[in-house]
Amino acid sequence: MIMKCNAKINLTLDMVGLRQDGYHLLRSVMHPIPLCDELTIEKADEISLKCNIKRIPVDGRNLVCKAAQLFFDKTGIKGGMKAYLNKKTPSGAGLGGGSADAASTLRALNEIYEYGAENDLLKAWAVKLGADVPFFIDNEPALAEGIGEILSPCKALPSCKLLLIKPNFSINTKRAYEILGDYKEPQRSDLLLSALEKGSWEEIAEAVGNGIQKCIAKEYPEIDNICDTMKNHGAYTSCMTGSGSAVFGLFPTDSDLMALKDKYNNYFVFEGNI
């Protein structure tokens, strides 16, 4: 079975508090994008994984292997998987690539072994792998709350062109939230949900924003530089996704993005339609 593991962008990221265990409570409108890893999975006697990128671990540290082990632990099925991961989504970018791979593993094994778990049950398992993983089970636009595991479907973006740029540095999520501390910005998610319902690009552009970008960009100013450049080249809106370092811009569908792609040809660049 071949699974397309879509990455995501955070159209908003509002910090609303801290749990006693130190996890940040958030509200975030998350949206899948056409950038995908490709995961090939088949039945086997043991869990094994290979990957096109040599530096990515293929043992129990990888979320694909963790997800497979979780599936067999939860179902009691005596089995395994043979998997190959064609990795296209960059790591340390705030795009949820590893989480998407884990969710796809759960979905694939559920189908291959004909276990029949509903998505709600898969999402309850998925949160044990990471806060973003449940989002990728449904893989549809949603408002994420709590630590990201409480999901409510929402309206998708109107048709547009996506440009994604990841600078030549990554940001560790734990480090990003250390930089953030208890800093909070005004919340944007409710404004964006309303704007999406109306389909108004003017209101969507006003509402899109990342509540931790200001803090992160103090240490990594290139993030703000890319956002400003995208807006100066006709983007409706642009901001950092997740804890970075990738930046997305949403453009009119007839925009010519060649100048931007050429300017950042030494960075990871992805262009697609939403």
User: How does pLDDT run across 216-242, given as a tens digit for each residue?
Assistant: 999 999 999 999 999 999 999 999 999
Is the model's pLDDT at 176 over the cut of 80? no
Is the model's pLDDT at 24 over the cut of 90? no
State mean pLDDT over 132-152. Answer: 95
Distance CA 128, CA 142 (A): 19
Is the model's pLDDT at 174 over the cut of 90? no
pLDDT recorded at residue 57: 96
Q: Domains in the chain and their CATH numbers?
A: 2-153 (3.30.230.10), 161-273 (3.30.70.890)
pTM of the model as a whole: 0.94
pLDDT recorded at residue 147: 85
In the chain, which residue ranges form alpha helices assigned H by DSSP? 63-75, 97-112, 119-126, 135-138, 173-180, 189-198, 201-207, 213-219, 222-232, 258-263
pLDDT in tens, 50-83: 999 999 999 999 999 999 999 999 999 999 999 9
Is the model's pLDDT at 131 over the cut of 70? yes
Pick the closest to residue 142 from 181, 96, 173 (CA basis). Answer: 96
Contact yes or no for 94/217 (Cβ under 8 A): no
Please provide the size of the chain in residues: 274
Pick the closest to residue 176 from 217, 141, 138 (CA basis). Answer: 217
| 265 burial level (CB within 10 Å; 0-12, 13-18, 19+) | exposed
Distance CA 198, CA 220 (A): 34
Task: Tell how many helices (H) and how many strands (E) occur in the chain.
Answer: 10, 12
**Residue 37 catalytic?**
no
pLDDT in tens, 28-43: 999 999 999 999 999 9
pLDDT recorded at residue 71: 98
CB proximity list for 170: less than 8 A, separation 6 or greater: 90, 91, 92, 93, 245
Is the model's pLDDT at 208 over the cut of 70? yes
Is the model's pLDDT at 162 over the cut of 90? yes
Name the percent of the chain lying above pLDDT 90. 83
Is the model's pLDDT at 246 over the cut of 90? yes
Of the two residues 186 and 140, the one the predictor is more confident about is 140
pLDDT recorded at residue 20: 66
Catalytic residue among 37, 132, 161, 224: 132
**Residue 132 catalytic?**
yes
State mean pLDDT over 96-115. Answer: 98
Mean pLDDT over all residues of the chain? 94
